[in-house]
C-alpha cells in the first residue's frame, strides 16, 4: 500500500472516532425536522440513526450506535448559495431522504442510506 493511502486511511479513522465522541444527546430531536432559527437542536434521531449537523453548519453526519455511517458536506457538494450564509438552516427527515435548506433559498436532498447529496433548487 502506498504511504499516502495509509496516511489518508489513518486520518479518516482518527477523525471518525473523534467525531463520534462529540455527539451531544441533549441536542438530538426525536421530531422530524429542525429549524435552526427556532431551536438549539442539532440532530434528528430516526430508526436508531442520528442525522447530525456538525459545528461547521455545512456537514451532516449519520451515526448508528455512535459510529459514523456516512458524512457529507452539503455546501461543498452543492456550492455556496446565491443569498444568505453558506450554512444549513433547516433539516427535515422524509422516509428515504433528508431535506436541507441552506442560505436563504437553496434546497438539497440527501439519501439517508448512503449520504448521496444533490442540489434540487
109-118, pLDDT tens digit by residue? 999 999 999 9
Residue 9, Cβ neighbours under 10 Å: how many? 11
Tell me which CATH code domain 3-119 carries: 2.40.10.480
Q: pLDDT grade, residue 92 (50/70/90)? A: very high
**DSSP per-residue string spanning 88-101:** EEEEEE-SSEEEEE
Residue 66, pLDDT score: 84
- Domains in the chain: boundaries: 3-119
Residue 21, pLDDT score: 45
Residue 3, pLDDT score: 45
Q: Which helix (H) or strand (E) holds 74?
A: helix 74-78
Phi, psi at residue 77, to the nearest 5°? -80, -45
Mean pLDDT estimate for the chain: 85
**pTM (two decimals):** 0.80
30-61, pLDDT tens digit by residue? 899 999 999 999 999 999 999 999 999 999 99
Residue 9, pLDDT score: 37
Residue 18, pLDDT score: 44
> What SS3 state is found at 47?
coil
Q: pLDDT grade, residue 17 (50/70/90)? A: very low
Amino acid at each position: 500500500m502506498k504511504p499516502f493511502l495509509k496516511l489518508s486511511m489513518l486520518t479518516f479513522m482518527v477523525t471518525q472516532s473523534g467525531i463520534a465522541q462529540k455527539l451531544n444527546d441533549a441536542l438530538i430531536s426525536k421530531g422530524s425536522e429542525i429549524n435552526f432559527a427556532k431551536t438549539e437542536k442539532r440532530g434528528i434521531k430516526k430508526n436508531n440513526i442520528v442525522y447530525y449537523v456538525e459545528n461547521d453548519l455545512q456537514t451532516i453526519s449519520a451515526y448508528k450506535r455512535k459510529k459514523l455511517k456516512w458524512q457529507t458536506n452539503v455546501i461543498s457538494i452543492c456550492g455556496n448559495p446565491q443569498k444568505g450564509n453558506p450554512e444549513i438552516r433547516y433539516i427535515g427527515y422524509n422516509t428515504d431522504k433528508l431535506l436541507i435548506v441552506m442560505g436563504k433559498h437553496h434546497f438539497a436532498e440527501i439519501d439517508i442510506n448512503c449520504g448521496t447529496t444533490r442540489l434540487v433548487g
